[in-house]
Structure 1
Amino acid sequence: MEQLQATPLSTDLLSTDLQSGASQKRPKGPAALTQGSNPYANLVTSLKATWLTGKTRPMEYRKEQLEAIGRFLDEKKEDILHAQYQDMRKPHFESELENVATRNEVNVALNNLCCWMKDEYVEKTPAMQLDCAFIRKDPFGVVLVIGAYNYPINLILAPLVGAIAAGNCVIIKPSEHSPCTARLLAECLPCYLDSDTFAVVTGGPEHVTKLLENQFDYIFFTGSTHVGKIIMSAAAKNLTPLTLELGGKCPCYVDDCCDFQNAANRIAWAKFVNAGQTCIAPDYVLCTVETQEKLIPCLRQAIREFYGCIPQDSPDFGRMVNDNEFRRVKALLNSGRVAIGGETDECDLYIAPTVLADVQEWEPVMQEEIFGPVLPIVTVADMDAAIAFIDCRPRPLAVYAFSCKSKVVHQVLDCTSSGGFCGNDCAMQLLLITLPYGGIGCSGFGKYHGKFSFDTFTNHRGTLLRCIGLEKLNTIRYPPYNDTKLALMSSTLEVRRKGFCAIL
């Protein structure tokens, strides 16, 4: 995910005025910090009061708000594209793709909300056959969504869709590193959504530090592992449940038996889209020395076909988000040897699509998530060595494997652990809304997209409704106890194994 500086809570926070879709009684602007011990207490309390009225619970209300997000995406489409271009020189195609993915979240929620909200009835033991047992899908309450800069529309609105579909009140916090998109969200989105149940908060580190002092019912954070630890620490003070969508180094194994040009095309696209600032981009390639020599010319051809001989002139190649990120990624070019690219232009925040060959595992480029257009190749002896290399490191957001042999792809799948997996392609699993998306271990926890977003923001409330009569049936569980009561009680509660046959 986005690489952030180490200043506490400041690194993913927008340094513009606080803006809110709430009423005028809510504090606004940096001056609000002087109003009492916590300037956001009234905002959170107001949303909590609204939630307690039950306003967000009816399906019709949820659909109205989801349809409003859809109208925002449609009516502000050109403004969104322009803001994203201003923030990161993001190509029109890539911004459109992000918007399509976000619109899909809205449409899937609208298409399925009735089904998702229904009570889910469960199997019962003999003792409960006369009772009603089900899972009630309750909203958590007031939730906080903190987004990241690299896909500033989708990484805010996709979880927002899930939170609204689940019936929550929501505060969203866009990233400071995409200021134009954040400003658009702060100024325009409140015009579409109900100000009683929704608010946008922007501000510097002191604002979000204060914001996190309030007790939310759920927190959803997208960003770096470092900042994720800070968010988790703040949530722990109030025992607030949360989802962390973080990053990490996603490995990509390329087998000796492979269509190298096809693999190179797919790897290069996933790596260099959004100038490499994609959390599920292949972070590095693992292959044998022989495969490296075959793969590099194919990567060179793919880059030339995608971006021309001078990628800096291509309208289809983005830029680093800011000076700090540019300098951080540029410093990683000293690892291994530059096989392709390597050119930089600080004034333009440009780093060329770059491939580093013969990279050693101890070099700087292998010590952190790259989050830029630099692809290291680490050589290993064989597939088993590649799997061992992956397994001895923190579990990544995704693992990729390329091979003409399905057995090889399945072996990498079976022998590694990650948030997601894709065979013979990269990043495309993100675009299939029926798959859960999220990390594991240091790459985060919790899943979202489609129904998984609804489930993330839903309290699955186990419910049992019993008859107040028929007390005679309950006496077997009341004292005084005896062996007969125990036998009866055990037999009515027992879950028997199906299809089991003991061989004497």
Structure 2
Amino acid sequence: MSPHAELVSRLRAAWLSGKTRPMEYRLAQLEALGRFLDEKKQDILEATAADMRKPPFEVEVSELSICRSELNHTLNNLGAWMKDKHVEKNWATQLDSAFIRKDPYGVVLIIGPWNYPINLLLVPLIGAIAAGNCVVMKPSEITRNVERLVAETLPRYLDEDCFAVVTAGVEETTRLLENKFDYIFFTGSPSVGRIVMTAAAKHLTPVTLELGGKNPCYVSDSCNVQNVARRVAWGRFFNAGQTCVAPDYVLCSVEMQEKLLPALREAITEFYSPNPRESPDFGRIVGDRQFQRVQALLHSGHTAIGGQTDAGERYIAPTVLVEVQQDDPVMQEEIFGPILPILTVASVDDAIAFINARERPLVLYVFSSRKEVVKRVLERTSSGGFCANDTIMHMTIPSLPFGGIGQSGLGRYHGRSSFETFSHQRSALLRGAGRETLNTPRYPPYAPHRLPLLRAATETKRRATCLLL
């Protein structure tokens, strides 16, 4: 038996023992995860700085704070989430009990990405623990320092019979996926997501795929340009642009572009100084391969702001591109770097048509002081999430489900949605052993005169409705 198969088998035995099912056990493991975040905070700050020179402030906001919020939200509500949900019954089952039980799936695999290596590994882990599963975690090998930290220290906080960390590269992860898991949660690129889904299909394993894509940001002519520039620049250049929910490109009129460019230049200077390379608040691209890919995208359109690079530091300046064409390389893939293309459109309807002609994004942003414009974009487009007059901030609300649609992902999590993602909705009907006379109408030999009674007892009736025309 391979080491991975042995590990999965060991965790499955622990799950079958029922060890993870009591609420007290789940709460204890979640509390232990909270201690990991508190006690290893400095180690996390140092590891993320070593991997991608991520500013401590950004780590606090996007990694630690979001994990704590998710953890506390789950601890506050787990008792209510775990309760059986009783459902409406037909006449034949009025004396019985019909409900939905939230069962754990069993042994879950969580594969985390490198861009937010703590957040995007631990937030789904919180949901998996809350739902009563055993978990195998696979942190990204690209952020080596965080991978080492998680592998060496997290198992000391959690029950090693039920939770394990696997360090693996591409080949080892491929072999890991050959094992039968009861649920797989993957965050990463669409290309790798297809590989994960193909592997899961061999065992008919359900999956959640948190992918990404090109998130549009429409800026209407009716808005405060300075506010828009600050919020878009923050969302685009946070974590050096390596954020799946970052605004990927801006759509606006020619007139708005003329106003927006100087406002963006001012915001970038305010945030990162005239020389962002020297700013302690601006990160770096995670690796050489990623740097070369993003650097190649700078050849699209015309550089209006930034554009400076340093391969030795893996530094790419906060950059704004104009005169970008729809078929330019920067518009063919998710940028995942500090580059913001601006494309011009004639109207909100043209922007909507542009967005709808492409794959549905993970999130869609719109800036406008007119509610009817925001409403029009919301109603006539489709995306995993939607945020008006800001960027990224929808991620800070645990009660909002997060996930993509179509090319940008499959499934959702955060808050209660995480608990439900990792829970099997098990239907249960508990009938009494007696009252057999009431069952007689359904038994052979069939008698046509019993059919009306049987239909009355089992069919759901349409309620009377009142339509206001």
Q: State whether TM-score is above 0.5.
A: yes
Aligned match for 2:165, one of 169, 179, 200: 200
| Aligned residue in 2 for 1:22 | none
1:75 counterpart = 2:39: yes
Instruction: Within 5 Å, give how 1:10-49 maps onto structure 2.
Output: 36=1, 38-49=2-13
Is the partner of 1:347 in helix, strand or coil? coil
Given residue 52 of structure 2, which amino acid in structure 1 is its aligned partner?
M
- Give the structure 1 partner of residue 400 of structure 2: 435
Q: Does 1:473 align with 2:438?
A: yes
Matched residue type, 2:184: I
User: In the alignment, what sits opposite 1:274?
Assistant: 239
* Aligned mate of 1:139, from 104, 120, 124: 104
The 1-side partners of 2:175 and 2:140 are apart by 16
Secondary structure at the residue paired with 2:312? helix
- Decide whether the 8 Å contact of 1:172 with 1:199 is kept in 2: yes
Which aligned pairs between 1:484-495 and structure 2 lie closer than 5 A? 484-495=449-460
Aligned sequence identity (%): 63
**How far off is 1:109 after superposition?**
1.2
Task: Please give the alpha-carbon distance, in whole angstroms, between the structure 2 residues aligned to 1:79 and 1:388.
Answer: 47
Kindly tell me: are residues 499 and 82 of structure 1, through their superposed partners in 2, closer, same or farther at Cα, counting changes over 3 Å?
same
1:496 CA drift (Å): 2.4
Distance 1:86 1:388 in 2: 43
Pairwise CA distance, 1:404:
0.8
Residue number among 11, 19, 34 corresponding to 1:55 in the alignment? 19
Q: Secondary structure at the match of 2:281?
A: coil
**Structure 2 residue matching 1:413: 3-state secondary structure:** helix
Deviations 1:84-140 (A, max 9, x none): 111110001100112010011111111111111111111111121111000001000
Equivalent position to 1:236, from 201, 215, 225 = 201
Partner of 1:387: 352
3-state DSSP of counterpart to 1:362: coil
| Runs of 4+ residues over 6 Å off in structure 1 | none
Pick aligned residue for 1:412 from 340, 357, 377: 377
The residue aligned with 1:173 is 138
Q: CA offsets per residue over residues 333-384 of structure 1, 9 Å max, x none?
A: 1111111100001111000000001211010000000000000011111110
- Distance (whole Å) between structure 2 residues aligned to residue 69 and residue 39 of structure 1: 25
SS at match of 2:79: helix
Query: Aligned pair in 2 of structure 1 residues 501, 274: CA closer, same or farther (>3 Å)?
Result: closer
Question: SS in structure 2 opposite 1:348?
Answer: coil
One-letter amino acid of the counterpart of residue 233, structure 2: A
Question: Following TM superposition, by how much is the alpha carbon of 1:495 offset from its aligned partner in structure 2, in angstroms?
Answer: 2.0
Counterpart of 1:317 in structure 2 is 282
Query: What is the CA–CA distance in structure 2 between the aligned matches of 1:204 and 1:419, rounded to whole Å?
Result: 29
Looking at structure 2, the residues matched to 265 and 483 of structure 1 have their Cα atoms a distance apart, in angstroms, of 73
How far did residue 502 of structure 1 move?
A: 9.7
CA distance in 2, matches of 1:496, 1:391: 40
Out of 288, 294, 297, the position equivalent to 1:329 is 294
Letter in 2 for 1:349: R
Structure 2: give runs of 5+ residues left out of the alignment: none
Q: How much is the aligned-residue C-alpha RMSD, in angstroms?
A: 1.2
2:46 aligned partner, one-letter code:
H
Residue 257 (structure 1) aligned with residue 222 (structure 2): yes
Cα 1:177–1:474 change in 2 (3 A) is: same
2:28 to 40, 50, 64: 64
Counterpart code for 1:92: P
Instruction: Look up the match of 2:174.
Output: 209
1:338 aligns with 2:303: yes
Matched, 1:360 2:325: yes
Aligned to 1:86: 50
Cα separation, 1, equivalents of 2:464 and 2:218: 41
Do structure 1's residue 421 and structure 2's residue 383 form an aligned pair? no
TM-superposed CA distance for 1:163, in Å, is: 0.4
Q: Hey, what does 1:248 align to over in structure 2?
A: 213
Indicate conservation of the 8 Å contact 1:249/1:369, yes or no.
yes
CA distance in 1, matches of 2:420, 2:312: 45
**Alignment-derived partner of residue 13 in structure 1:** none
1:51-94 alpha-carbon deviations (Å, 9 max, x no partner): 00000000111111000000000000000011011111000110
Give the Cα separation in 1 of the matches to 2:412 and 2:99.
Answer: 23
Whether contact under 8 Å (1:142, 1:218) holds in the other structure is: yes
Task: Report the secondary structure of 1:371's partner residue.
Answer: coil
Please name the residue that 2:248 is paired with: 283
The answer for the alignment partner of 1:129 in structure 2 is 94
Deviation for aligned residue 1:491: 1.4
Structure 1's unaligned 5+ residue stretches are 1-35
Structure 2 distance, partners of 1:354, 1:209, is 36
Q: Is the 8 A contact 1:39 1:210 kept in 2?
A: no
Amino acid at match of 2:290: E
Aligned to 2:343, the other structure's residue is in SS state: strand
For 2:180, the aligned partner's letter is Q
What is the aligned partner in structure 2 of residue 105 from structure 1?
Answer: 70
| Aligned AA (1:89) | R
Amino acid at match of 1:49: A
Q: Give the stretch that moved more between structures: 435-444 or 200-209.
A: 200-209
Tell me, what secondary structure is at the counterpart of 1:342? coil
Report the alpha carbon displacement of residue 294 of structure 1 after superposing the two structures with TM: 1.1
Change (3 A) 1:417 1:502: closer
Give, as a single letter, the amino acid of the residue that structure 2 aligns with 1:348.
Answer: E
Q: Aligned AA for 1:451?
A: R
Match for residue 308 of structure 1? 273
Partner residue in 2 for 1:7: none
Choose the corresponding residue for 1:219, options 151, 170, 184.
184
Counterpart of 2:51, as a letter, is D
Q: How much has 1:501 moved relative to structure 2?
A: 5.8
